[in-house]
Amino acid sequence: METLEPERGAATSETEPESPETLTEVEEAFSGMEVDAPRVGIIMGSASDKPTMEPAGKELHERGIAFEVRVLSAHRDPQAVAD
């Protein structure tokens, strides 16, 4: 007799992610976010990465999506990267 296993990536009761207790908790987590705040961050490790990342910024700009660009080095300033 053949045993069937769930498809890879299929949710099972053991692997199903838990949902927040209430929607209120999620709303509270985002309550301080300004409406006009950037929704996307483009982060690069050094300024030399800028030519590689410019197309991403151009695409976001053309689609009207607010973004910010930061050069942050996890080696030089790990706390800034974490923040």
Say if CB 70 and CB 41 are below 8 A apart.
Answer: yes
pLDDT digits (tens, 9 = 90+) for 10-66: 444 455 455 555 567 766 776 776 666 777 889 898 899 999 999 999 999 999 888
pLDDT at residue number 28: 75
The pTM of the full predicted model, rounded to 2 decimals, is 0.50
